[in-house]
Amino acid sequence: MKWPNLLIFIPTYNEAENVERLCRELTALQLGADILFCDDASADGTGEIIERLSEEFPHVRVIHRSGKLGIGSAHHEGIRYAYAEGYETLVTMDCDFTHQPTDVLRLLQAAEASGRSVTIGSRYLKRHSLPGWNPLRRSLTHLGHFLTVTLLHLPHDATGALRVYQLGAIPEELFDRVRSYGYSFFFESLFVLYRNGFPIEEVPIALPARTYGSSKMSLSETLRSAARLIGLYIASIRRPESFLVSSPLPPVLEAERPLQDPQGWDAYWTKGQEKSRRIYSVIATIYRRFAIRRNLDHFIHKHFVPGARLLHAGCGSGQVDEQLSREMRITAVDISLPALESYRRNNPRAEAVWHGDILHLDGLPQSSFDGAYNLGVVEHFSRDQIIQILREMGRTVKPGGKVVIFWPHRWATSVFVLKIVHGILDFVRGNNVRPLRLHPPEISLLESRDQARNVVEQAGFNLVEYSFGIRDLLIQAVVVGCKK
């Protein structure tokens, strides 16, 4: 089968033993593809071999560069060439038979079947995909995958070069957001594609141990890649919108009534606080991202289908929503404008951001959401106010819709730790100084399942799930109600 306007791009550096065989095997597949090699002044004659191949085969092209300029730099070169020459599909792969020519055919077939913008070869979809690897190398590869999943939230094999890009669906300027010119190009480019919402398909591949031995990745390059990974993680927190292409942040919709903030949430979310509060803010960020977000994702996916319209009532900075806002249609509400500004930066794909009071959601349409949720909110209100909040959330939810409430238990580990921290701060600051509180008072900690059932039933819901356990290290109870 032939694919129109297809380019296969292969960077080379000292690949004299492989380049001719690979070229002939790819040609034998009869894909109708042009093959572009990019050689970084190989000292072993690779460039001369490619020149000879280009004379023999009219579909073979070559770019000669002045020296070893980096694998990521070569991929930038190949992508620019593909766009400039009008190719619709681009395949990238290594030259050392890390990637088999037959895998190229499999990826192209998967890309055509799925219709997705990007298709990648993955080493993590099947067991025994790293045959012959020793335990150390296997562990290091899995560590790299763990870090890209944990820090960048990429649920794919982000460090491989075997990919199919549907260039007609991807704007060229997207690759301008990728700053890496070394091996970190691979996870950074996939991260930018993923953050911009381009669907990614994975095809299982195997990497024989022999190909690892020819890797040209040095220790210094490994360290640079690690530094870039950390840099991307920090940037995703501080400036998440910087990775987006032509995607304006959602506007903040103003409330229909004057708002009052007796609990002082503006002060909580405003930067430039005293040192102890800044330290707490950093710890809270880690807590939200690594403890709460995983649990939230679990319960949202359990009770709602992808694409569901959800209301996040009391959204705060939205650090927990970064994954969900790409999968669900989320409307975020908060009384604090500084919080909403952080939410917009963290979740530029949110459907709407509304400056409002969760005690009075009359500005939102009735029965328009599939569900609603909040976390780190209800414990700051009285019992009667919690019932009112749930009723307001219920008014916006369709019949049969659900609310998911993260409610700190009185015996939660987070409550225990904060009591210790406040005690230490009070001791250090002395008796004559006004006590420092890192957040508004938690006046309504949850005490039992029966209490949760009573509250949600008074608000017009049936309790369908109650969870307080080891999943999040006993941090918060999760209460799920279904609208009557």
- The tens digit of pLDDT for each residue in 114-154 reads 999 999 999 888 776 676 666 777 777 888 889 998 888 89
- The DSSP call for residue 357 is B
The arithmetic mean of pLDDT across residues 249-277, rounded, is 70
The arithmetic mean of pLDDT across residues 179-208, rounded, is 91
C-alpha triplet 434, 435, 439: angle, nearest 5° = 125
Cβ atoms < 10 Å from Cβ of 260: 9
Please say whether the dihedral angle defined by the alpha carbons of residues 89, 94, 95 and 101, taken in this order, is positive or negative: negative
What's the CA gap between 234 and 479, in Å, rounded?
Answer: 32
- Name, in order, each residue with C-beta under 8 angstroms of 40's C-beta and a sequence gap of 6 or more: 11, 12, 13, 65, 67, 68, 69, 74
What domains can you pick out in the chain, each with its CATH number?
6-242 (3.90.550.10), 249-483 (3.40.50.150)
Residue 187: pLDDT over 70: yes
Residue 232: per-residue pLDDT: 92
What integer best gives the mean pLDDT of the chain? 87
Q: When comparing pLDDT for 417 and 398, which is higher?
A: 398
- Per the structure block, which two tokens stand in for 203? 């095809």
Residue 163: pLDDT over 90: yes
Q: When comparing pLDDT for 233 and 89, which is higher?
A: 89
pLDDT per position as a tens digit, 2-51: 788 999 999 999 999 999 999 999 999 999 999 999 999 999 999 999 99
Specify the 3-state DSSP secondary structure of 8: strand
Residue 212: per-residue pLDDT: 40
Report the predicted TM-score, pTM, of the whole model to 2 decimal places.
0.68
Residue 219: per-residue pLDDT: 76
Among 95-99, 402-406, 428-432, which is the least confidently predicted range?
428-432
What's the CA gap between 163 and 91, in Å, rounded?
Answer: 6
Q: Which stretches does DSSP call E strand in 237-341? A: 252-253, 309-313, 329-334
Residue 213: per-residue pLDDT: 40
pLDDT over 90 percentage in the chain: 59
pLDDT per position as a tens digit, 429-484: 565 555 555 567 889 999 999 999 999 999 999 999 999 987 766 778 999 999 99
Among 136-145, 182-191, 341-350, which is the least confidently predicted range?
136-145
Q: When comparing pLDDT for 416 and 55, which is higher?
A: 55
pLDDT per position as a tens digit, 287-340: 666 678 888 999 999 999 999 999 999 999 888 898 898 889 999 999 999 899
Q: Name which of 65, 63, 88, 68 is nearest 78 in CA terms.
A: 63
- The DSSP call for residue 222 is H
